[in-house]
């Protein structure tokens, strides 16, 4: 990593001598709290900005991947008497009755238990990284990115 040290900083003309780039433009961060703004070389600023954007993009890609990989707990060999079935993800599992629309359906209880644990944990910390897991949240408590995720 290059070292950017600035000399001869001219705040009016926004120029300085940078040890990495020579005479260059400078970027003055918007500082309301600091009396003496910490200026950085424009190239450094660009680098930081690009870094930050790459990080954001990576985070978004990871989040989308997580949503895509949401396993589908499809049940087969359902036995409504014993409430047992074979789940595509968990194998043999307990199931429970659920209602979807006007049809009766069954859902994987192994998944359901994990879901409840996750829900409680995220509920206490107030952090939810995957909106797909929390369909019961009201609009008011939903994190803002739910809408942008196209749900
Ligand atoms: Zn520089
Ligand atoms: Zn399952």
Q: pLDDT-derived band of residue 37, with 50, 70 and 90 as boundaries? A: low
Q: Would you say residue 90 has pLDDT above 70?
A: yes
Ligand 2 centroid–CA 135 distance in Å is 18
Quick: pLDDT tens for 71-82.
688 899 999 899
**Tens digits of per-residue pLDDT, 102-144?**
667 888 998 888 866 766 666 555 445 555 655 554 555 555 5
* Ligand 1 centroid from CA 9, angstroms: 12
Please state the rounded mean pLDDT for residues 40-51. Answer: 91
**Listed residue (11, 10, 13, 59) closest to 31, CA to CA:** 11
Which one of the ligands is nearest to 41 CA? 1
Distance (Å, rounded) from C-alpha 108 to C-alpha 105? Answer: 10
Q: Output the CA 25–ligand 1 centroid distance in Å.
A: 8
pLDDT tier at 150, thresholds 50, 70, 90: very low
Neighbour tally for 125: CB within 10 Å: 8
Q: Can you give the residue ranges of every domain in the chain?
A: 1-47, 75-140
């Amino acid at each position: 990593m290059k070292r950017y040290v600035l000399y001869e900083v001219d705040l009016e003309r926004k120029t300085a001598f940078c040890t990495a780039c020579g005479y260059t433009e400078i970027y003055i961060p918007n500082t309301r709290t600091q009396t003496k703004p910490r200026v950085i070389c424009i190239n450094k600023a660009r680098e930081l900005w690009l870094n930050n954007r790459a990080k954001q993009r990576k985070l978004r890609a990871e989040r989308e991947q997580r949503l895509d990989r949401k396993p589908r707990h499809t049940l087969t060999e359902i036995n409504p008497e014993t409430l047992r079935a074979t789940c595509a993800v968990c194998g043999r599992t307990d199931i429970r009755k659920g209602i979807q629309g006007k049809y009766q359906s069954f859902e994987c209880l192994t998944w359901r238990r994990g879901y409840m644990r996750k829900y409680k944990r995220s509920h206490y910390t107030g952090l939810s990284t995957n909106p797909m897991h929390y369909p019961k949240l009201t609009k008011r408590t939903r994190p803002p990115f739910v809408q942008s995720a196209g749900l």
